[in-house]
Structure 1
Amino acid sequence: MSKTIREQTVEQLGGGSSILVRQRREHQEMDRLMDRYRSLDDAHERERVLKQVVQLVFSHAFAEETVLWPAVRASVPDGEELTARVEEEHQQINDLVADIERLPAGAPEREAKVQRAFALIRQDIRDEEDLLLPRLQDVMKTARLRTLGTAWAAVRQTAPTHPHPVVPRRPPGNALLGVPLSVYDRVRDALGIGGSAVREREGDARPGRDAR
């Protein structure tokens, strides 16, 4: 198996448009934002950075689940097992962030959930970069990695930016429910509206792994 994508050059990963490079680039931005959140003392600025983390993580994960993981399941011999693992991590992150967005800023239990979500995000990054993406690199040609990267980027631009418990983890269900919610998410992001309104309408039902 190829070594972790963290240690490879852009050329080794297929060039700037490759899905491997695009994934690593956004993972690095997630790490940067989470580090910045931890370094800040100003509560308002911490909330602003936290919103940036949430928006990036959820648009990134939606594009993975819509474009990347189906390609992994179709191409990698143990792709089903690998994607099930990261989908479970995504679901845990989804549930934690949904709770975070319901709680008032400054609540002690909220900060504990933020730190737990950050730990899960970092674990998800390591699983993808050390296990899943090197397997994909081994079986997929460079041209296909670039095509997949272009498709992933297109979906990511129209993806939801907040957790939605009713959205399943796999296509076609995630696209059917997620794309309309994306419009709502991006409008409320632009207006600076909080994250609880959609889930109040969706209800508290959270699909298990069978609902993927």
Structure 2
Amino acid sequence: MPETIREQSVAQLGGPSSVLARQRRDHAEMDRLMDRYRTLAYGEDRERILREAVQLVFSHAFAEETVLWPAVRRSVEDGQELTSRVEEEHQQINDLVAAIERLSPGSPEREEKVRRVFALMRQDIRDEEDLVLPRLQEALPAARLRRLGTAWDTVRRSAPTHPHPVVPRRPPANAALGVPLGLYDRMRDAFGLSTPMAPAKKVLTALAGVLALAAAVARCRTRR
């Protein structure tokens, strides 16, 4: 089996557009954000770093579950077992972050949950880079890894950025729910309504306004 992708060059991973290289870049950014959070005293900067980490980990995980893990299950002999392991970690992260978003910033209970979720995120990164992704690298040519990277990045850019208990871990159900929830989350993020609990009425009002505008633009185009 190939060595962990952590120690390989970008060329060995199939180039910068390979799904392996893209995954590793996201993992490195997660590590940076977690390290940065630990160095900061409580305040707005610390909360901003936590929001960025949450938004990254959820969009990243959704792209994995929609594009990457199905490829692992198709291509790797024990892909079912490998992906089940990381899906369990994703579910634990989902549950912890959902609890964190319900708690007041700076509270001891919230800080303990942040510590636990960061530990899970680091374990998930190691399992992916040391166990799952090397097996996919062994099974697929570089050209296929690059095509997977393009699909993964497309999904990641519109994926949900917060926990949602209604979203399953596997397609097609997760993909069907992910599109509207991704739009909902990104509206929350854009309007600064994502922590600690977004007022649902404000979010839905903003979302309705965007959808109404999009519908009006579509009608104008069809009349031309």
Q: Is the pair's TM-score, using the shorter chain for normalization, greater than 0.5?
A: yes
Give the Cα separation in 1 of the matches to 2:47 and 2:199.
Answer: 19
Determine if the alignment matches structure 1 residue 183 to structure 2 residue 183: yes
- Cα deviations by residue, 1:110-160 (Å, 9 ceiling, x for unpaired): 000000000000000000000000000001001000000000000000000
- DSSP-derived class of the 1:160 partner: coil
Q: Does the 8 A contact of 2:37 with 2:50 survive in 1? A: yes
CA contact (8 A) 2:193 2:199 kept: no
Task: For 1:190, give the aligned amino acid.
Answer: A
Distance in 2 (alpha carbons) for counterparts of 1:104 and 1:198: 15
Measure, in 1, the Cα distance between the counterparts of 2:179 and 2:47: 26
Percent identity between the two aligned chains: 73
- Kept in 1, the 8 Å contact 2:82–2:132? The answer is yes
Unaligned runs of 5+ in 2: 201-224
Corresponding residue for residue 66 of structure 1 = 66
Q: Give the partner amino acid of 1:129.
A: E
2:101 match: secondary structure: helix
1:9-24 map, 5 Å: 9-24=9-24
When the two chains are superposed, the root-mean-square deviation of aligned CA atoms in Å is 1.4
- Tell me how far 1:42 sits from its aligned partner: 4.1
Aligned pairs for 1:83-102 within 5 A = 83-102=83-102
Q: 2:103 and 2:178 mapped to 1: Cα distance?
A: 23
* CA displacement at 1:44 relative to structure 2: 1.3
Q: Distance in 2 between matches of 1:69 and 1:114?
A: 26
* Corresponding residue number in structure 2 for 1:106: 106
Letter in 2 for 1:179: V
Unaligned runs of 5+ in 1: 200-212
Does 2:14 match 1:28? Answer: no
Write out the 4+ residue segments of structure 1 that deviate beyond 2 Å after TM superposition: 194-199
The whole-number CA distance in structure 1 between the counterparts of 2:12 and 2:62 is 26
The aligned amino acid for 1:183 is L
TM-score, length basis structure 1: 0.92
Given the two structures, how large is their TM-score scaled by the length of structure 2? 0.87
Residue matched to 2:81: 81
Q: Name 2:193's counterpart in structure 1.
A: 193
